[in-house]
Amino acid sequence: MPTSFIQPEFKVKIDYDKCHKCGRCVQQCGWGVYNFNERPIPDDSKCRACHRCVTYCPAHCISIEKNQLAYRDNDNWSPAARKAVWRQAETGGVLLTSMGNPLPYTRIFDHLVLDACQVTNPSIDPLREPMELRTFIGHKPDSVGVEPDGNGGFRLAEGEGMKNNLMLDTPILFSPMSYGSVSLNVHKSLAMAAQRLGTFMNTGEGGLHADLFPYQDNVIVQVASGRFGVSPDYLSRGAAIEIKIGQGAKPGIGGHLPGEKINKEVSSTRMIPQGTDAISPAPHHDIYSIEDLRQLIYALKEASGYKPVGVKIAAVHNVAAIASGIVRAGADYVYLDGFKGGTGAAPQVIRDHIGIPIEIAIAAVDQRLRDEGIRNWASVIAAGSIRSSADVAKAIALGADAVAIGSASLMALGCHLCQSCHTGSCSWGITTQKPELTRRIDPEWGAEQLTNLVHAWSHELQEILGALGVNAIESLRGSRERLRSIGLDEQMNKVLGVKPAGM
Partner 1 sequence: MTTERPRYAEEASYKIHGGCGLMGICDESGKLMSGEDAILAMAVQHDRGNGLGGGFAGYGIYPEFPDHFAFHMMYHDIQAKEEVEALFDQYFLVDLAEPMPTRPVKGITDAPLLWRYFLNPYPSKLEESELSAEDYVVKAVMNINSSVDGAFVASSGKNMGVFKGVGYPEEIGHYFRLEEYEGNTWTGHNRFPTNTPGWWGGAHPFALLDWTIVHNGEISSYGINSRYLEQFGYKCTLGTDTEVAAYLFDLLLRRHKLPMELACKALASPLWDEIDRMPEAEQAVMRSLRSVYGPGMLNGPFAIVLGFNGGMVALNDRIKLRPLVAARKGSILMVASEESAIRAVIAEPDSVWMPKAGEPTIARVKGMDWPIHGDLHLDPSEISCAVTGTERSCDTVEVTA
- Residues at the interface with partner 1 (CB under 8 A): 117, 120-122, 124, 129-130, 132, 134, 136, 140-146, 149, 153-156, 160-162, 165, 370-371, 373, 375-376, 468-472, 474-482
Q: How far is the CB of 331 from partner 1 (least distance, A)?
A: 17
Q: How far is the CB of 455 from partner 1 (least distance, A)?
A: 18
Nearer to partner 1, 131 or 309 (CB): 131
Q: 3-class DSSP state for residue 89?
A: helix
Q: How far is the CB of 167 from partner 1 (least distance, A)?
A: 9
Q: How far is the CB of 173 from partner 1 (least distance, A)?
A: 17
Strand pairing report for 10-14 and 62-66: antiparallel
Number of CB atoms found within 10 A of residue 347's CB? 19
Q: How far is the CB of 485 from partner 1 (least distance, A)?
A: 14
Contacts of 441 (CB under 8 A, 6+ apart): 183, 185, 186, 189, 413, 414, 428, 429, 430
Q: Quick check: 468 and 117 in contact, CB under 8 A?
A: yes
248, 344, 239, 447: CA torsion to nearest 10: -120
Contacts of 477 (CB under 8 A, 6+ apart): 396, 397, 399, 400, 401
DSSP one-letter string for 423-492: GTB-TTSSSB--HHHHTT--HHHHHHHHHHHHHHHHHHHHHHHHHHT-SBGGGTTT-GGGEEESS--HHH
Nearer to partner 1, 124 or 492 (CB): 124
Cα–Cα distances in angstroms (integers) from residue 71 to residues 74, 91, 181, 455, in the given order = 8, 22, 36, 45
Nearer to partner 1, 64 or 473 (CB): 473
Handedness of CA 66, 432, 310, 324 (dihedral sign): positive
Q: How far is the CB of 294 from partner 1 (least distance, A)?
A: 23
Closest residue by Cα to residue 463 from 128, 110, 113, 119 = 128
Nearest-angstrom CA–CA distance, 131 and 151? 32
Nearer to partner 1, 76 or 143 (CB): 143
Nearer to partner 1, 125 or 277 (CB): 125
Q: Quick check: 71 and 79 in contact, CB under 8 A?
A: yes
Nearest-angstrom CA–CA distance, 433 and 157? 53
Please name the amino acid found at residue 430. Answer: I
Contacts of 377 (CB under 8 A, 6+ apart): 139, 140, 327, 328, 369
Count CA within 13 A, CB hemisphere, residue 243.
30
Nearer to partner 1, 36 or 306 (CB): 306
Nearer to partner 1, 352 or 359 (CB): 359
Nearer to partner 1, 284 or 477 (CB): 477
Nearer to partner 1, 351 or 482 (CB): 482
Q: Quick check: 14 and 42 in contact, CB under 8 A?
A: yes
Nearer to partner 1, 354 or 396 (CB): 396
Q: How far is the CB of 140 from partner 1 (least distance, A)?
A: 5
Q: How far is the CB of 486 from partner 1 (least distance, A)?
A: 18
Q: How far is the CB of 284 from partner 1 (least distance, A)?
A: 31
Nearer to partner 1, 278 or 334 (CB): 334
Cα–Cα distances in angstroms (integers) from residue 358 to residues 108, 113, 224, 372, 498, in the given order = 9, 16, 21, 21, 15
Q: How far is the CB of 391 from partner 1 (least distance, A)?
A: 19
Q: Quick check: 383 and 335 in contact, CB under 8 A?
A: yes
Q: How far is the CB of 458 from partner 1 (least distance, A)?
A: 14
